[in-house]
């Protein structure tokens, strides 16, 4: 078993805001992250899959195909978007890095079969900033 990772990136706006709360409570809990008019980040996304290398190619998975899959299924839906408003798969969820990583896992787990019959999704690692990041293993 070997683990293979591909890093992609996207830029997005968001805010942390619970619509069931008053503005005051949002401000108290989330501070500047609740700014009414949004803020944003350069997100870095690392997708890790696991499997055995194919003897004919030496690959667990073709990273060009994995990159294309991530771009088509994830990056195109979040890049230069507002995570609270523009992204159907985040509708009704707090736009936290935790929730975003979990939803990206769900999407890629379903679609990974289109680039490899044998590799399995292992980890979604998502950097909101170089100092704040999350990891999800399903």
**Catalytic residue set:** 33, 80, 128
Site for a copy of itself in 44-73 (CB under 8 A): 48, 53, 55-60, 62-64
79 binds a copy of itself (CB under 8 A): yes
107 binds a copy of itself (CB under 8 A): no
Convert 51-66 to b/e letters by CB count within 10 Å (16 or more is b).
Answer: beeeeeeebbbbeeeb
Closest distance of CB 92 from a copy of itself, Å:
11
CB nearer to a copy of itself: pick between 31 and 113? 31
> Which residues neighbour 92 within 8 Å (Cβ) at sequence distance 6 or greater?
none
Residue 61 DSSP class: S
112 binds a copy of itself (CB under 8 A): no
Of 72, 100, 122, the C-alpha closest to 14 is: 100
Q: Are strands 39-51 and 120-129 parallel, antiparallel or unpaired?
A: antiparallel
Closest distance of CB 89 from a copy of itself, Å:
14
Among 12, 69, 104, 115, binds a copy of itself (CB under 8 A): 12
Neighbours of 103 (CB within 10 A): 19
Closest distance of CB 85 from a copy of itself, Å:
5
C-alpha span between 124 and 70 (Å, rounded): 11
- For a copy of itself, the binding residues (CB under 8 A) are 1-9, 11-14, 16, 18, 20-21, 29-33, 35, 37-42, 48, 53, 55-60, 62-64, 79-82, 85-86, 93-99, 101-102, 129-137
């Amino acid at each position: 078993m070997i683990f293979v990772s591909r890093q992609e990136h996207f830029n997005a706006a968001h805010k942390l805001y619970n619509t069931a709360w008053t503005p005051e409570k949002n401000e108290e809990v989330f501070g500047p992250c609740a700014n009414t008019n949004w803020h944003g980040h350069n997100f870095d996304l690392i997708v890790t899959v696991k499997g055995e290398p194919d003897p004919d190619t030496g690959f667990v998975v073709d990273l060009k195909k994995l990159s294309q899959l991530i771009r088509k299924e994830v990056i195109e839906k979040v890049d230069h978007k507002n995570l609270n408003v523009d992204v159907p798969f985040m509708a009704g969820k707090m736009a936290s890095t935790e929730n975003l990583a979990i939803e990206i896992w769900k999407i890629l787990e379903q679609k990974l079969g289109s680039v490899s019959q044998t590799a399995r999704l292992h980890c979604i690692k998502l950097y909101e900033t170089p100092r704040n990041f999350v990891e999800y293993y399903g």
